[in-house]
Chains A and B, each alone.
Chain A
Amino acid sequence: MNPLAQNHVAHLTRREALYGLSGGLGSLAFSSMLRAERVPGVNHPAKAKRCIFLMMEGGPSHIDTFDPKPELTKRHLQKFKRSGERESAMSSGQRYFVKSPFDFIKAGKCGADVSAEWHHLKNHVDDMCFYRGCQVESVNHPTACYHVNTGNRFGGDPAVGAWVTYGLGTLNDNLPGFVVLPRTSYPQGGASNWSNGFLPADYQGTPLRPEGSPILDLHTPTGMTRKDQRKNLDLLATLNREHLNLRPENGELDARMSSYELAYRMQMEVPGILDLKGETEKTKEAYGIGDSKTDSFGRKCLLARRLVEKGVRFVQAYAGSWDSHDYIERAHGSLIRSVDKPIAAMLSDLKERGLLEDTLVVWCGEFGRTPDNGLRGGVSYGRDHNAKAMTMWFAGGGTKAGHTIGATDEIGAEAVECVHHIRDVHVTWLNLLGLDDNQLTYYHAGRHKQLSQFGGKVIQELIA
Chain B
Amino acid sequence: MTIGWVTSPVFGEVSVGEKLFALKVKPLFAQKCMACHGDDPKKIKGDLDMRTRASLLLGGETYEDEVLIPGKGEKSFLYILATRVEEDMEMPPKEADKLTKEQTWSIRDWINEGAPWPDEERVAHIQKKYAEGEQVVTSKALSDDWQKRRYETKKLWAYRPLKVEKVPEGEHPVDWFVNRKLKEAGLVPASDASSRELYRRLSFGLTGLPPDPAQAIKFEREFTKSKTALSEHAEKLMAIPHYGEHFARHWLDVARYADSAGFANDYTRPNAWRYRDYVVRAFNEDKPYNQFVKEQVAGDEMEPANPEHLVATGFLRMGPWEQTGMSVFKETRQLWLDDVTDSVGQTFLAHAMQCAKCHDHKFDPVPTRDYYGMMAVFSTTQFAERKAPFLPSESKEGFATFSKLMQSKVSTYEKQKKELQQKINRLKKEETGNAKVGDNGLDPGDEASQSRISKNLVRHRLELDRSQPITHSVYTGKTVAMKNVQGRLNMPRDPWSKGYFDPDVIFTGGDVYSHGEAVVPVALSAAESLGNMKARPFPAGKGKRRLALANWIADGKNPLTARVMVNRIWSWHFGRGIAGNPNNFGGTGELPTHPALLDYLADWFMKNGWSVKKLNALILSSETYRRSSRHPAPEILEEKDPKGILYASFRPRRLVAEEIRDAMLFVSGELNPKVGGIPARPDVNLEVAFQPRQIMGGTASVYEPDPLPKQRNRRTIYAEKLRGLRDPFLETFNQPGPDASCELRQTSTVAPQALTLLNAEEVHDRALAFAARLLKERKKEPAVIGRAFELALGRSASPDEVTVCVERWKLATETEKEKTPTPKTYSKKIKRTVMAEKTGEPYDFWEFLPAYETYQPDLQRSEVDARTRGLAHVCLVLFNLNEFSYLD
Interface residues of A (CB under 8 A from B): 2-4, 30-34, 44, 85-90, 101, 139-143, 154-157, 183-192, 195, 198, 200-202, 206, 209, 212-213, 215-225, 227-229, 231-233, 235-236, 238-240, 242-244, 246-250, 252-253, 255-257, 259-260, 262-263, 266-267, 320-327, 329-335, 338, 377-381, 384-385, 436, 438-441, 445-448, 450, 455
Contact = CB atoms under 8 A, between A and B. Distances in A.
Interface of B: 87-88, 90, 93-96, 262-264, 320, 322, 324-331, 335, 339, 352, 355, 431-433, 435, 437-438, 440, 444, 483-484, 513, 581, 583-584, 586, 588-590, 629-631, 634, 638, 652, 654, 685, 687-688, 691-696, 699, 723-726, 728, 731, 734, 737, 739-740, 743, 746-756, 758-761, 764, 798-801, 803-805, 807-808, 811-812, 815, 819, 821, 833-835, 837-841, 861, 873-874, 876-877, 880-883, 885-886
Given A216-B752, A221-B764, A186 B691 contact: yes
A251 to B, nearest CB: 9
Contact of A139 (B326, B589, B881): B326
B96 A441 contact: yes
Nearest to B84: A439
Given A190-B724, A216-B755, A249-B630, 10 more contacts: A142-B263, A155-B262, A155-B739, A156-B737, A185-B691, A231-B811, A232-B808, A252-B654, A260-B754, A450-B96
A341 B604 CA distance: 70
B548 to A, nearest CB: 27
B342 to A, nearest CB: 10
A2 B804 contact: yes
Given A189-B263, A191-B726, A266 B755 contact: yes
B787 to A, nearest CB: 16
11 contacts: A3-B800, A31-B752, A89-B483, A139-B328, A185-B835, A186-B693, A216-B756, A228-B873, A256-B754, A259-B754, A263-B752
Nearest to B319: A154
A255 B749 contact: yes
Nearest to B695: A188
Nearest to B722: A190
A2 B746 CA distance: 38
A327 B839 contact: yes
Nearest to A240: B882
B411 to A, nearest CB: 25
Contacts of B687: 209, 212-213, 216
A235 B804 contact: yes
Contacts of A385: 326
Contacts of A240: 881-883
A154 B804 contact: no
Contacts of A154: 320, 335, 339, 739-740
Given A216-B728, A381-B437, A447-B352, A221 B581 contact: no
Given A217-B759, A223-B819, A324-B840, A192 B737 contact: yes
A289 to B, nearest CB: 16
A150 B761 CA distance: 32
Query: Ordered nearest first, which 8 A-B pairs have the shortest CB separation?
Result: A446-B584, A185-B692, A89-B325, A446-B589, A448-B96, A263-B754, A156-B739, A201-B748
B759 A221 contact: yes
Contacts, number: 325
Contacts of B798: 242
A321 B835 contact: yes
Secondary structure class of chain A's binding surface, majority of residues: loop
Contacts of B724: 188-190
A239 B95 contact: no
A263 B751 contact: yes
A201 B355 CA distance: 26
A334 B883 contact: no
Contact of B685 (A198, A217, A335): A217
Given A216-B688, A253-B886, A445-B583, A338 B263 contact: no
B111 to A, nearest CB: 25
B94 A455 contact: yes
A333 B437 CA distance: 12
B8 to A, nearest CB: 44
Contact of A446 (B581, B692, B841): B581
A454 B876 CA distance: 47
Nearest to A239: B881
B769 to A, nearest CB: 15
**Which of A217, A325, A338, A450 gathers most chain B CB within 10 Å?**
A217
Contact of A334 (B731, B841, B885): B841
Contacts of B753: 259
Nearest to A380: B437
**Which of B584, B749, B886 gathers most chain A CB within 10 Å?**
B749
A291 to B, nearest CB: 13
A111 B631 CA distance: 72
Contacts of A225: 815
A331 B513 contact: no
B750 A33 contact: yes
Contacts of A323: 837
B688 A327 contact: no
A256 B588 CA distance: 32
B694 A185 contact: yes
Contacts of A334: 839-841
A154 B331 CA distance: 13
